[in-house]
Amino acid sequence: MASDKKIILITGGNTGIGFEAVKALYKTDTPYEIVIGCRTVAKGETAIEELKKEVPQSPSTLSTLQVDLSSDESLEKAAETMTSKHGRIDTLINNGGAAFDAELEAKRMSMREAYNKSWDTNVTGTHILTTLAVPLLLKSTDPRLLFLTSGTSALAETERLDLPAFVRLNGSPPAGWPKQPVGPTGLNVTAYRSSKTGLNMLMREWHKILLNDGVKVWCISPGFLATGLNGANAENLKKAGARDPSLGGIFIKDVVQGKRDDHVGKAIRSDSIQPW
């Protein structure tokens, strides 16, 4: 059951930054048991096949686990499986998340639906999974808890207009109603942005709760990366200054491997601490 390898559970590990984090960890010489949490197990298995073609040799092992952040039943079963199969979790990477602003803009969701789903996935589901995982984390000799936040979540930076990216994100539209979409993707990102600010507070609460248990907790702010989140076109994002998603994966790997242990309890960027 228990393995000598560090056991890592990463939600949303089959795509985007999550997949890049799995890849970065899988490519190292350190052996890990990497469990890819995903809503659809088949997609996780496809991701594993793709990764093994790209990285044919690794001391680590890969597996999938059904994790749906919107389903308590799914999360409870995931915790039971981790308990029976692995006996502990050394690192929980709460990477899974979603943005529904595009659905709202396209009128495929009502405002209430889009906001509720944003918070349910990015905050509530993440909190429930973390709560279920704590007994397993406390069985680790080096427990780590990561929450994937966003550079757009910092309240202290909502007044910044000194760079083009901040102008796109924080600039006020012309007078009149309705307002035209804004933001780096050409969409209103208020629901996503608000939920990630809420996630920052969730991290601070878990840092407080688990401080005396020795659990290291962070929010990871990977930066403006060219992923398909919120229905964005990756190539268009690159033209707007987005970086390669692999940089986010390397950043997460560095945190797992102890390179930012001096910054626990913070929202961290790859080269700095993100202001609140």
Number of structural domains in the chain: 1
pLDDT digits (tens, 9 = 90+) for 182-240: 555 556 789 999 999 999 999 999 999 999 999 999 999 997 655 665 555 556 555 55
Active site residue 196: yes
Exposure of 49 in the CB half-sphere (CA atoms within 13 A): 6
Q: Where are the beta strands (DSSP E) in 72-115?
A: 91-94
Compute the CA torsion angle 182, 151, 134, 131 (nearest 10 deg).
Answer: -20
Q: Is residue 22 part of a domain?
A: yes
Q: Is residue 207 part of a domain?
A: yes
Exposure of 92 in the CB half-sphere (CA atoms within 13 A): 30
Q: Is residue 183 part of a domain?
A: no
- pLDDT at position 223, please? 75
Q: Is residue 171 part of a domain?
A: no
Q: Is residue 73 part of a domain?
A: yes
For residues 79 and 37, the answer to whether their CB atoms sit within 8 Å is: no
Picking from 91, 96, 89, the residue whose alpha carbon sits closest to that of residue 70 is 96
Pick the catalytic residue from 6, 196, 216, 266: 196
pLDDT digits (tens, 9 = 90+) for 238-259: 555 667 778 899 999 999 999 9
Pick the catalytic residue from 60, 74, 118, 150: 150
Q: β-strand 216-220 against 144-148: which pairing, if any?
A: parallel
pLDDT digits (tens, 9 = 90+) for 134-166: 999 999 999 999 999 999 999 999 999 998 888
The domain in which residue 30 lies consists of 6-155+192-273
Q: Is residue 72 part of a domain?
A: yes
Pick the catalytic residue from 32, 192, 216, 266: 192
Q: Is residue 205 part of a domain?
A: yes
Lowest mean pLDDT among 3-12, 96-105, 168-177: 168-177
Domain CATH for 30: 3.40.50.720
Q: Is residue 175 part of a domain?
A: no
- pLDDT at position 17, please? 93
- pLDDT at position 181, please? 65
Active site residue 150: yes
Active site residue 52: no
